[in-house]
Amino acid sequence: MTALALFIDAGVHLFLAPGYQYAQPGTISQGTLFLLEAAAALVAGIYVLVRGSRAAFAFALLVALSAFAAVVLYRYVDIPAIGPIPAMYDPVWFFSKTLSAVAEGAGALLALAGLVRAGGRGRADDGARVRARRRRP
């Protein structure tokens, strides 16, 4: 489920990126940032599917939570351009933006749950291995 949320996030950002490619000279376009977010979400989703490890869920949590925080922040706060990062204030919730925010929020919560579950399994396995080694003469 974590990977699905990240793939939805990536798909929305890939869909929206072409419409946000224009930028002032010396700045990064919002479309480029969308493409970077899509790439990070795809990598995190694949990493979770392939490994399912604590590191995979931690990376997924980082990607999803940072994207969710950014969309909510730029929805409610008019932050000016910071260096090459453009001003991205967008006070409207439209379908694609809402879908992305829901997927990012759900992805962050699911990644956190996966991180906790993977952490519990890791400690139990490590303890079993230590006990097994002690039994051998």
**Quick one: pLDDT at residue 119?**
79
Domain boundaries, the chain: 2-135
Q: What is the pLDDT of residue 121?
A: 59
DSSP 80: P
Which is it for the CA torsion 78, 87, 70, 75, positive or negative?
A: positive
Each residue's pLDDT, cut to its tens digit, for the chain (137 residues) gives 999 999 999 999 999 999 998 877 778 999 999 999 999 999 999 999 999 999 999 999 999 999 999 999 999 999 999 999 999 999 999 999 999 999 999 999 999 999 999 876 554 344 444 455 555 55
pTM over 0.85: no
How many alpha carbons fall within 13 Å on the CB side of residue 118? 15
Tokens describing residue 81: 């351009």
| Amino acid at position 42, single letter | L
pLDDT of residue 133: 55
- What is the structure's pLDDT at 135? 58
Q: What is the pLDDT of residue 99?
A: 98
Which ranges in 17-136 belong to alpha helices (H)?
A: 30-50, 54-76, 95-135
